[in-house]
Amino acid sequence: MRDWGDVRECQACGRSSVWDVEQGRWVHEWAGADHVADVVLTTAAPQLPPCPGRCNARWRRAERVSAEEVNAAEREQRPADVDVVEHRLLPRPGDPVWCEDDAARVVAAVGRLPELVVEVLAREDGRLNAGRSDADGRQSSGAAPASPSPAHDVADSVIRWARMEAEQLLEQVRGWHGDASRVAAAAPTHEDLATSVAALVHFSARWLGDTEHGEEAGGVALRWETDLERTTGQDLLVHRLPVRCPSCQARALTRQDGTDQVDCARCGWRKPYADYVALVADAAEQQRARQREERRAARCRVS
């Protein structure tokens, strides 16, 4: 059994190490196998918060399943499954909030906002953009009327959000003080969005590295990208794949249309599509081998 609540850094290799109670020594995982940490560990590694991005999907699921197992064991008055509760997954720490890969994903999402907003403002199909004229609008006495153009409202909200984020960021970086009330009240324009996005991308390390605001800001940026993609119909078709995930054994493998990436929606497992094809072929071969063995066993019983 290992004490995963006390993770330290090995002086020799810099990797995370944990105390093995049964062996009575520090061990660390390397390339999927356990190796003894023979060096003396003096200080604990700095505990950075886990990255809130996609990289820690498997760890978050393991933590959730662990908590559910503890609660179920308490309700059913039975011992909890140690393998489930003390899972061996370690979260990828932020740098200092988002890891490098997920921070790049947030920056890419912010960089797409002007393009997506242009697509929203250009729509004239009447389904999402009904126009801004309220000449034929009808109001009931009971509730507030629906917006005549919900797609435009989404675009306006994105521009106002980006403008406020850029104002606050520039105030931190340059000590520049804008008029927050003026920014909130001014009519949003696409030029405002382009300028704001340029500032957020240029100072992204400072923006996403804010330990108090960076996680929320990055999450909002990703949600805006998703909302705009849905509004313009650009969200990709997701194919559900029939083979079980080799990591968690759940039928949760998906592939976005036009991409060469297969993801597990349950645990975060990710591989190129070529690896998935090889996985399918291997699973089919194993199934055929089981069927041959079953037929052979049946013939032996008959004879």
Nearest residue to 102 (alpha-carbon basis) of 49, 48, 53: 53
Tell me how far CA of residue 160 lies from CA of 143, 172, 178, 267, in angstroms.
Answer: 26, 19, 14, 35
Would the pTM of this model clear 0.85, i.e. be above it? no
| CA 95/CA 41 separation, integer angstroms | 23
| CA 222/CA 116 separation, integer angstroms | 13
State the average pLDDT over residues 90-115: 92
State the average pLDDT over residues 94-106: 93
Q: Please indicate whether residue 19 or residue 156 has the higher confidence score (pLDDT).
A: 156
Cβ(159)–Cβ(76) below 8 Å: no
Say whether pLDDT at 41 is over 90: no
Nearest residue to 197 (alpha-carbon basis) of 80, 90, 69, 111: 111
| E strand or H helix at 72 | helix 57-76
Q: What residue segments make up the domains of the chain, in order of their start?
A: 1-47, 51-92, 100-129+148-232, 238-295
Query: Would you state the structure tokens that stand for residue 277, as one six-digit string?
Result: 């094809």
**pLDDT grade, residue 44 (50/70/90)?**
very low
| E strand or H helix at 65 | helix 57-76
**pLDDT grade, residue 289 (50/70/90)?**
confident
Handedness of CA 162, 164, 167, 172 (dihedral sign): negative
Cβ(50)–Cβ(93) below 8 Å: yes
Q: Please tell me the predicted confidence (pLDDT) of residue 148.
A: 54
- Highest-confidence segment of 9-18, 151-160, 212-221: 212-221
| CA 43/CA 191 separation, integer angstroms | 51
**pLDDT grade, residue 135 (50/70/90)?**
very low
DSSP helix/strand/coil, 134:
coil
Residue 90 exposure: Cα atoms within 13 Å on the Cβ side:
21
State the average pLDDT over residues 217-224: 94
Rg (CA), the chain: 26
* Mean pLDDT of all residues belonging to the chain: 77
Indicate the range of 8-12, 119-123, 184-188 predicted with least confidence. Answer: 184-188
**pLDDT grade, residue 234 (50/70/90)?**
low
